[in-house]
Amino acid sequence: MVGCGSAATGHVYGMAASGQFDIVALAEPSPESLERFRARLPLLGDVPAFSSADEMFQAVDLDAVTVVTPHTLHHPIVMSAIKRGLHVLCEKPLTCEVAHAKEIAEAAEAAGVVVMVRYQRRFDPAYRFMREKIASGELGELRTIAVTCGQRWQRGTAGTWRQDPALSGGGMLMDSGSHLADMLLWLVDRPVESVSALVDQCGSPVDINTSATVRFAGGVHGQLTVIGDLAITWMETVVVSGSDGLLRYEVDPQHPWRTGRVTFSRDNQIVEPLRLQRGPSEHEAWADAIRGEGPNLSPPSAGVRVAELTAAIYRSAREGQTVRLDTDADVALSA
Ligand SMILES: NC(=O)c1ccc[n+]([C@@H]2O[C@H](COP(=O)([O-])OP(=O)(O)OC[C@H]3O[C@@H](n4cnc5c(N)ncnc54)[C@H](O)[C@@H]3O)[C@@H](O)[C@H]2O)c1
């Protein structure tokens, strides 16, 4: 495991629940982080720790690594792992720059290793339900989709690497917003044609609030709203409108960490599925893909597309213009 901060804990639980992994080494430069991590997870007390990923790669025979570090460190660490033939589960965003994401996608392909981006909503039954309804055509012709997420992020991350562009690569859009950018692209599943966006830094060195209008091939309108100065802990909604139906998803603000509630309306009926089909977790899917027993359900191409959308949003907001992705691809990141 590379990076033993707060999100790494979820990876330990996820890997343990899958029953497919042995955690044999840790790489963490901060003694304080490491101590807190071992205190939270006493079972890992004897697992050897190294102060850098490369030291760990040299010292221990590994099959795979999780990369759970600040954002701009993902690219060099993932590239180093790929060069050693290791499979990777990398936290979001895969990279902060389009060229870096493409480099990882190409290197993973050439090395024959599985690099998965940890976009866990791809494994969430409610999001899977929405994607299935759109893909099956039950919604009719897809017309508009509005995806919104908000967190008390600006206050919650003050003074941490998340508001330091050198380590975060951007603000709330690069952080939790990355999940919803991926959901917008994954649910619509068509090429992006153009992006028009507003970004408010609210006095921070990084983006706090973002509103983006995204035009997809076939004229589908997408709206991505990312709120980093929310007055409450968390909110997340999705509304997808098609010629024959409507999907609505909302996280329950009283249980913000749980999966949300989804409804499907069609022919004047509201269908609220009581049982949503569970698929593999991201750690189970990663293990299946490594063994060649399943597809990579969150491949590096997801990281490339999110990086392209993110860069287009920053550029549109900076220049006050609509950015066309077909002609202006590989736009540089502003942050
Ligand atoms: N998927 C999710 O829902 C989710 C939730 C939270 C965080 N994350 C992601 O997880 C990653 C880490 O976030 P976090 O909340 O755990 O942050 P954190 O600050 O709690 O932990 C990051 C850890 O990385 C360590 N680190 C720094 N440089 C390193 C290096 N060169 N090599 C190894 N470790 C290094 C830090 O010392 C720290 O312990 C980010 O990519 C973040 O976006 C994802």
What pLDDT does residue 143 have? 98
* Cis geometry, peptide bond prior to residue 76 (ω within 30 degrees of 0): no
The predicted-structure confidence for 273-316, as pLDDT tens digits, reads as follows 888 988 999 999 999 999 999 999 999 999 999 999 999 999 99
138: CB partners within 8 A, 6+ apart: 244, 245, 264, 266
Q: Cβ-count burial of 238 within 10 angstroms (0-12 exposed, 13-18 middle, 19+ buried)?
A: buried
120 in contact with ligand 1, CB cutoff 6 A: yes
99: CB partners within 8 A, 6+ apart: 330
Q: What is the DSSP letter of 333?
A: P
Q: What is the pTM of this model?
A: 0.96
68 in contact with ligand 1, CB cutoff 6 A: yes
Whole-number percent of the chain with pLDDT over 70: 97
Domains defined along the chain, listed by start: 6-120 (3.40.50.720), 122-275+298-324 (3.30.360.10)
Residue nearest to atom 17 of ligand 1 (CA): 5
311 in contact with ligand 1, CB cutoff 6 A: no
Lowest mean pLDDT among 102-106, 134-138, 272-276: 272-276
236 in contact with ligand 1, CB cutoff 6 A: no
pLDDT at position 114 over 60: yes
What pLDDT does residue 70 have? 98
Radius of gyration of the chain from Cα atoms?
A: 20
The predicted-structure confidence for 158-170, as pLDDT tens digits, reads as follows 999 999 999 999 9
pLDDT at position 331 over 50: no
More confident residue, 61 or 253: 61
Q: Cβ-count burial of 271 within 10 angstroms (0-12 exposed, 13-18 middle, 19+ buried)?
A: middle
Cα–Cα distance, 307 to 179 (Å, whole number) = 12
Lowest mean pLDDT among 134-143, 264-273, 287-296: 264-273
Cα–Cα distance, 176 to 32 (Å, whole number) = 25
Cα–Cα distance, 165 to 161 (Å, whole number) = 8
Confidence at 327, pLDDT banded by 50, 70, 90: low
